[in-house]
A = this chain, B = another copy of it.
Amino acid sequence: MRENDCNSNPVFYYAIRTITMSGEDAPAQQQKAEDQKQETKTTEQPKAESKQESQPATEAPAASATATAAEKPPEEEVFTYRSLVLSGHGGYDKVKLQVKKGKPTPKNGEVLVRVKACGLNFADLMGRQGLYDRLPSPPVTPGMECSGVIEAVGEEVTDRKVGDRVLVLHRFGMWQEVVTVIAGHTFLMPEGMSFEEAAALPVNYVTAYMMLFEFGNLRPNQSVLVHMAAGGVGIAATQLCHTVKDVTVFGTASASKHEAISQGGVTHPIDYRTRDYVEEVRKINPKGLDIALDPLGGSDTHKAFNLLKPMGKLITYGAANMLTGQRKNLLAVAKTWYNQFSINALSLMHANKSVCGYHLGHLDDEPELISQVVAKLLELYGQGKIKPRVDSTWHFEQVGDAMRRMQERNNIGKVILLPEPKKEEPKKEEDKKEEKKEEPKKEENKKEEKQEEPKKE
């Protein structure tokens, strides 16, 4: 089952290192150089899948092969699987659908999962623009979460078996038909949970839970500000707030989403496009908030801090303000950086406030912590206290449209990607034609060209 020869390939080694989250030192500098070389080679022309070995499904497809095809049993060569690959930083068209060859084999402690649904996250949008440091350099398969069925288990895996329905949380590489991951990164799906729900849960609910309960210490009668309340984390946070008695949720979203977020539990929806949310919160809670969740960054972090009452907690977990269009907007990035919140000990003391930073992508080395949180979330799901809301599902072929939906803030709930081919189209990936992945599909190309220019906002 083991493929030790793969360790001679530095890219492969890197992938394994990140998969195992073992924390051991890798030759990072050397790896970086290798990645960059690859990027140069492959950004415009992602390599064809003919190079793919039976390496872990999360590996970037362009790894220069050191293990030759001759070393593989012939039956594994015919196995192919669809994979979304970020070919370079840029617009929606940089995420390409590829077909990879060679069945991934779970190593010691790993399982092979046949993926049924994947979650799309803000981090994926930022990663595509080169703004997310936890995604390795292209070519790389994005995707931090998925759900599916275990198809094979590696040695030393005792608590998972073939046929188990699982949800998976991983740093990257989940947007594929099959993935191999450490068994400890999979969690058994409860009865009655759909694959779409399962793929919608890990990132958003773990994030919301840890912010509200580990940092926020949310308690009865408190008040919470939730930005982007119709988004994945927003909906998760709103639901989790209501697992505590009499919590008031202020939620920002555009007016068209107010009915939905009100039904979802937002006490005071605020249309941030037409109102000053600071004023709106102060009108209702003159003393301010107990907890402010800040996914925006820049000047909004300052506003959130100032809105806190004494003993209040600001939890900053993103910089969505950097993301104003399809392509990296240097002005927005610079502005968000320039306005970045900073504070010293004395000011914090005088204010009696707490400032917390949360970044799930940097919790790689804390599998136990994450497992505990997922266990609690699945318990809450079982009790009917939380339920992921799926906004829409998109086949891998439609990943550009899916990203656009989220980028343009049209979603209410989670945007889900499905590995299975779109029914209306001929299943081209079964033809194993290279051309299909070399260029974006025509109809998508047209749409995306309209969006090539960064939006002026």
Judge whether A349 and B217 touch: CB under 8 Å.
no
A359 to B310, CA, bound (A): 10
Q: Does A274 contact B (CB under 8 A)?
A: no
Give the Cβ gap from A331 to chain B, nearest Cβ, in Å: 18
Interface residues of A in 147-175 (CB under 8 A from B): none
Judge whether A344 and B346 touch: CB under 8 Å.
no
Provide the A313-349 mask, 1 if CB < 8 A to any CB of B, else 0: 1001111000000000000000000001111111111
Provide the A56-88 mask, 1 if CB < 8 A to any CB of B, else 0: 000000000000000000000000000000000
Judge whether A354 and B352 touch: CB under 8 Å.
no
The answer to whether residues A341 and B344 also contact, given A357-B353, A359-B349, A362-B351 and a CB cut-off of 8 A, is: yes
Q: Does A13 contact B (CB under 8 A)?
A: no
Contact of A214 among B294, B311, B345 (CB under 8 A): B311
Judge whether B350 and A353 touch: CB under 8 Å.
no
Residues of B within 8 Å of A44, CB to CB, are none
Name which residue of chain B comes closest to A357, CB basis: B348
Judge whether B356 and A316 touch: CB under 8 Å.
no
A273 to B383, CA, bound (A): 53
Judge whether A316 and B359 touch: CB under 8 Å.
no
Residues of B within 8 Å of A316, CB to CB, are 345, 348-349
Judge whether A356 and B358 touch: CB under 8 Å.
no
Judge whether A353 and B356 touch: CB under 8 Å.
yes
State the main secondary structure of chain A at its contact with B: mixed
Q: Does A369 contact B (CB under 8 A)?
A: yes
Q: Does A301 contact B (CB under 8 A)?
A: yes
Residues of B within 8 Å of A355, CB to CB, are 343, 345, 348, 354-356
Name which residue of chain B comes closest to A316, CB basis: B345
A369 to B217, CA, bound (A): 15
Judge whether B345 and A310 touch: CB under 8 Å.
no
A342 to B348, CA, bound (A): 10
Residues of B within 8 Å of A348, CB to CB, are 316, 355-357
Residues of B within 8 Å of A350, CB to CB, are 357, 359, 362
Q: Does A3 contact B (CB under 8 A)?
A: no
Judge whether B311 and A369 touch: CB under 8 Å.
yes
A349 to B359, CA, bound (A): 5
Residues of B within 8 Å of A344, CB to CB, are 340-342
Residues of B within 8 Å of A346, CB to CB, are 319, 340, 357
Give the Cβ gap from A90 to chain B, nearest Cβ, in Å: 23
A30 to B356, CA, bound (A): 37
Give the Cβ gap from A135 to chain B, nearest Cβ, in Å: 14
In this complex, the member of A297, A343, A353 whose beta carbon has the largest number of chain B beta carbons within 10 angstroms is: A343
Q: Does A365 contact B (CB under 8 A)?
A: yes
Residues of B within 8 Å of A351, CB to CB, are 357, 362
The answer to whether residues A311 and B342 also contact, given A348-B316, A352-B363, A357-B347 and a CB cut-off of 8 A, is: no
A346 to B340, CA, bound (A): 8
Contact of A342 among B215, B317, B343 (CB under 8 A): B343
Name which residue of chain B comes closest to A302, CB basis: B345
Give the Cβ gap from A147 to chain B, nearest Cβ, in Å: 25
Name which residue of chain B comes closest to A359, CB basis: B349
Q: Does A366 contact B (CB under 8 A)?
A: yes
Q: Does A16 contact B (CB under 8 A)?
A: no
A106 to B306, CA, bound (A): 37
Judge whether B217 and A310 touch: CB under 8 Å.
no
What are 15 pairs between A and B in contact, CB < 8 Å?
A215-B217, A310-B363, A310-B366, A319-B346, A340-B344, A340-B345, A343-B343, A343-B355, A349-B358, A351-B357, A352-B358, A352-B363, A354-B355, A354-B356, A355-B356
- In the A-B complex, the 3 residue pairs with the smallest Cβ-Cβ separation, listed nearest first, are A348-B357, A349-B357, A354-B356
